[in-house]
Amino acid sequence: MRTELFADRVYVLTPKGEVLDLPRGATPLDFAYGVHTSLGHRCRGAKANGRIVPLTHTLANGEVIEIITGKHDAPSRDWLAPEQGYLVSARNRSKVRAWFRKQDVGGNRSAGRAIAERELSRIGVRPEQLGALTAELKAPDTDHLYQLLGEGEITVTQLVQAAMRLTEPPRPPLRPARPAATRRRASPVEIEGVGDLPTTLARCCAPLRPQPINGYVTLGRGVTVHRSDCAGFQRMSALKPDRVLKVEWSSAESGALTVELAVSAYDRRGLLRDLTDVLAVERLSIDAASSRTDHDVGIAYFDLSVAVDDLEQLARVLRRLAGVPNVIEARRRR
């Protein structure tokens, strides 16, 4: 009975040994606001039992929590979105919202405009769609929309979700019935002076359009396509130059190419969803995905196999993944 009574609470300690009673699932940021509102506003980081943890860390019974502070109040608007995992307590989110409301109107409106322009440009919302987006979010006009964004009354997640509902075509499922497989049947490269030969993209250098490429005849496997600067290709071509073929990227739309991505991030609730949302915005299909978490340091690692059209799209996807809150690194795996 006693266990059931306290199942929805967590008890942690201040560095001075004082006990703080918080809701189950609370974070170091909830702890900071639980001690004092000003401590929460100045919070920049946290330690649990002497170890630095992300602000989205889920507190455990008996942990000693130390808050790392700055000199000035500087809460983040990201803290207001429950799905970001920074604050479990609605009361604490209200404290953050109240802080933003007290800031000057012009400053909030400018901040909101900057947020809207940044996020909407990422997903391709056109200026003429802003009126429909404003109505979707039930704001009287765009100035009020910017004001509400700046004050935190409308979160970035709510803005993006509303924009996605207005963007056509509708977002596809993350694992479609693979129309892309049909596209990929066509070879992405053309071989000069030779008929249709099976082609394979080399795993050692994983070429992508529009990188310069060369072909190498591999017995029993057709033509393997390498980047021209691939060290492996250069060694093989020096030994057997007669197997080298001139190839180039097909001028026709020839389908996506699969690449392996590696993402590391400080773990938090909603992280995987935010990463896959980036891929969905780019209309990418996920061929395979796996993840693991190092609980000692609170870092999650994701391996994603996705199909991209070219090097430009790959670079854009990596930039957007790197921009997801808590992401440490997003890169292409060789």
Domains defined along the chain, listed by start: 7-96 (3.10.20.30), 103-166 (no CATH), 187-249 (no CATH), 257-332 (3.30.70.260)
Confidence (pLDDT) at 159: 82
Q: What is the pLDDT of residues 200-237, one digit of tens each?
A: 777 777 777 667 888 888 766 678 888 888 888 888 88
Under a CB-based contact definition with an 8 Å cutoff, are residues 204 and 226 in contact? yes
Alpha carbons 298 and 95: distance in angstroms, whole number: 27
The model's pLDDT over 69-91, given as tens digits with 9 standing for 90+, comes to 888 888 888 898 777 788 998 89
pLDDT tens, residue by residue, 107-151: 888 888 888 887 777 666 777 778 888 888 888 888 888 888 888
Q: Are strands 247-249 and 19-23 parallel, antiparallel or unpaired?
A: unpaired
- Contact indicator for 245, 223 with CB cutoff of 8 Å: yes
Confidence check: pLDDT of 254 > 70: no
Tell me which amino acid residue 6 is. Answer: F
**Is the CB of residue 255 less than 8 Å from the CB of residue 178?**
no
The string of DSSP letters for 97-126 reads HHHHHHS-HHHHHHHHHHHHHHHHHHTT--
What was the pLDDT predicted at 179? 40
Is pLDDT above 80 for 21? yes
Q: Residue 180 has what pLDDT?
A: 36
Residue 71 to residues 42, 64, 92, 305: CA-CA distances in angstroms? 7, 23, 20, 43
Name the residue among 144, 159, 26 with its Cα closest to residue 93. Answer: 26
Are 263 and 329 spatial neighbours (Cβ–Cβ below 8 Å)? yes
For 19, phi and psi rounded to 5 degrees? -90, 135
